[in-house]
A and B are shown apart, each in its own frame.
Chain A
Amino acid sequence: MAEDSITLKKLREQFGDSIIESHSRLGQDTAILPKKVLLEAARMLKEDPTLDYNFLMDVTAVDHFKRRPRFEVVYHFYSLNHNHRLRLKVPVGGESPEVPTLTGLWPSANWYEREVWDMFGISFQGHPDLRRILMYESFEGHPLRKDYPFDKRQPLVGETE
C-alpha cells in the first residue's frame, strides 16, 4: 500500500495511534478516524496550509446494520488549491448515534448534516438548526436505515384505495 500522500502522512503524524485505518488506493486517500478526534482532525485539514481542504464536498452515512458499530459517517473533502481529495470515515453506533458538527469549519456542512439526520437519524452535536430537510416534519423514522420498511408509507393526505 503506497501511503505517500501528504494528507495521510500528516494525519499519521498527528493522530498516529488513534487512526483506525488509512489507505491510498488508485490515488484516492481514505482515513477512518474515531469520533473523539474528528473535530481536531477536521481543523487540521482545513487550517494547515499544506493541506488546505477548503471545500467540504459531501457528508453522508452508511448503515452497516449487522456490524458494530452500526453506522459510518463519511466526509468528502477537496482542496481547490492543491487538488487534494480525502475521504474521511467516522464509525458511530449506539441507540442514538451522534457526532460533532463541522458547521463551524465548513458552513456547507449544515444542509448535509441535516440530510444525514433526516435519512439515517445520526444527530450532530452543536448543529445550529438540526431539522429534517427532505422528509416532512410529521414523518416518523429515518427511511435510509436498513430496518425501515422501504415500502411503508406515511401519507400526508388521506389516500383512497
Chain B
Amino acid sequence: MGLRKPPLREQHASQGASFTEFGGWEMPVEFDSIRTEHAAVRESAGRFDVSHMGEIEVTGPDALALTNRLTTNDVSELDPGDTQYSCITDEEGIILDDTMVFRLPDDGGPHYLFVPNAGHDAEMEDRWIEHRDEWGLDATVRNTTEEWAMFALQGPDAQDIAAEATDGATRDVSRFDATFLDVSGVRCFTSRTGYTGEDGFEFLCPWDDAETVWSALDCQPCGLGSRDTLRLEMGFLLSGEDFHPEEEPRTPYEAGVGWTVDLDTEFVGRDALERVEREGVDERFRGVKLLERGVPRHGYEVVDADGERLGHLTSGTMSPTLGEPIGLGYLSADEAPPGTRVRVLVRGEPKQANVVTPPFIDT
C-alpha cells in the first residue's frame, strides 16, 4: 500500500523538504535543518504541516455520551469552543492513543471533533462505531481525515503572524479555545493549541484550500524532525514511541498524564485505572539528562551504579535549546525518583545521567 500524502506534498518538495514515513504518511521531516527550525519556533515562529493527524467528527444526540465513554477525561466539562487533552484506553487502562477533543462552536447541538495520531484514524473510527452500535447510542461518526489539512503555527511571534493572516480575528482566541475564522478568506477551525510548548495556533482547513492557508502563515517552514525535538524538550508523549499498545503498553498514570483521567466518569478502562490509581505504579515516565558525551535514544537501558536495571528510554536527542543530551523513558518509581544519579547504556557503555522531571526547559 502506498503512503498517504498531505495536500502540499509537492509544494514542500519544491521548497527543499526531505520526507519521512510516519504513521503511514509521507511527511516533511526537514526543510532547512532541525536546528534552524527548532530555533525559529523557540525564538520567533515556525509553521508545521501536520495534515497526517486524524480527524473524527462525532455528531448527534448521543455524541457526548459516546465520546465520554471512550475517552478518559470528562467531555461533559467542555463548553462550545473548548478543547481538552485526553487518552483513549482499552479495558485494561492501556493507552491506545492520546488525542485532543474539541467541542465545536455551537451550531444547534453538541458536536465533537477529536484528533487521533497519524495512522490511527481508521482504528478510532471503527472503535467509535462498534461501541456506538454495542451501546445502542444515537450518534454519527465520520472520519474526515482526508477532508481537512492541518497546520500548526508555533512560537513567540505566532500571535502577530496569526493576527496578520486573520485580520486580527485570532486576537480574541484564548489559550485552549477554538473557533471558526477566516484565514485569507478560507474558513478554518482554529484553536490556540499546539505541541511544542510555545504559544500558537492549530488550523484545520479544507484539503483543497491548504495552499492558501499555508502561505498566509508566513514564517519558517518546519518538519517533523524539529517537532520531535521541541516536544521532547517539553516531555510531551509521542504516540508509537513513548507508548504503544503492544510494544510499550502503558497506563496514563505511568505515562505521566494521569491528570487526563477522570474516575468520576464511566469509560472503557475506568475500573482498571481506578485500581492502578489506588495501588500505584511500578514505573513512571521521567526525564534523564546525560552528564557525559553521548546521545540517549529510544530503547536504551537505564541502570544503577551496580548495573541493576532501572528502566529504559523511549525517546531521546541532543536538545537544540540546551545543547545537552536529554531523554524520556520509564524508570522504577521507587528506585529512580527525580534527582537520582543513574547510568544510561549508550551502545553498552554506561554514561552518567540525572533523573529529572520534564519539561527540560522553561517556555
A and B bind: no
